[in-house]
Amino acid sequence: WPTKRCKELHSVSDGEGIEIFGVAANNDFSSPVPEYRECQVAYVKELIRMTSDLGAKTLRMFLGWPGVTKHPQLAQYTIARDIWNYTHEEFAEEEIWAWCREGMAESARYAEDAGVILALQNHAPVIRDYQDVLRMVKEVNSPNLKVSLDVPIMVDKSPENIQRAAKAVGNLQVLSHFGGEYESGGNSSCAGNLKRFVHEYGKATSFL
């Protein structure tokens, strides 16, 4: 969105007492094609500007993202995931990791200039668990790169592992995503456990 439209929406939401707490980037810094990675950094830079224009504090980030195939009759992940897997199969994990780190570090510099916090989500591909998120945050070493811990996509959703993750992330946690696709009494308990442990080990966190 252009600045004018963002500020108009911010004015409306502010007038209604509704906080726009964040924006989501479906970015992919993992491509073996340098031009694609450069385009993704440019895309994130614009989203950082947009986040600031909306009066929001946080931009949710990925390391890798296959995308989604949209069609008038269908929207699916399968085709995009197959393309992503094919383009990455000849490259080592550490090489892909380095490309992602480069893109994230550059984005963090733009975020610092704009006063925006980047929240790296534990979302596949590239990232496998919260330890990978913490590793990237440590390697980028920017005060503007924090964590968005998403419990429903964790492989191990046991209360013990959620507690370990919340304790390890601590005050780096600024955002968490929890969709409405789960029935009450099922995976919804994951969000409850995370809220409890985040409040115990971290600070105030926005739950989407």
The model's pTM is 0.89
How far apart are alpha carbons 148 and 108 in whole angstroms?
15
Residues 65 and 123 sit within 8 Å (Cβ to Cβ): yes
Whether 181 shows a pLDDT value over 80: the answer reads: no
Domain with CATH 3.20.20.150 in the chain: 3-65+96-148
Output phi, psi for 33, to 5 deg.
-95, 115
Task: Give the full edge-to-edge strand order of the sheet including 22-24.
Answer: 22-24, 58-61, 117-121, 145-148, 173-176, 206-207
Whether 183 shows a pLDDT value over 60: the answer reads: no
What's the confidence (pLDDT) of residue 134?
99
Q: Helix 130-140 to helix 159-169 angle, to the nearest 10 degrees?
A: 10
How far apart are alpha carbons 84 and 97 in whole angstroms?
15
Whether 20 shows a pLDDT value over 60: the answer reads: yes
| Mean per-residue pLDDT, 78-87 | 96
Query: Which ranges of 55-119 would DSSP assign to H, the alpha helix?
Result: 78-88, 93-114
Q: Tell me which DSSP letter residue 115 carries.
A: T
Task: For 43-78, write each residue's pLDDT tens digit.
Answer: 999 999 999 999 999 999 999 999 998 888 888 899
Beta bridge partners of 146: 119
pLDDT band at 168 (very low <50, low <70, confident <90, very high): very high
Task: For 110-167, write each residue's pLDDT tens digit.
Answer: 999 999 999 999 999 999 999 999 999 999 999 999 999 988 899 999 999 999 999 9
Whether 187 shows a pLDDT value over 90: the answer reads: no
Residues of the chain above pLDDT 70, percent: 85
Question: CATH code for 3-65+96-148?
Answer: 3.20.20.150
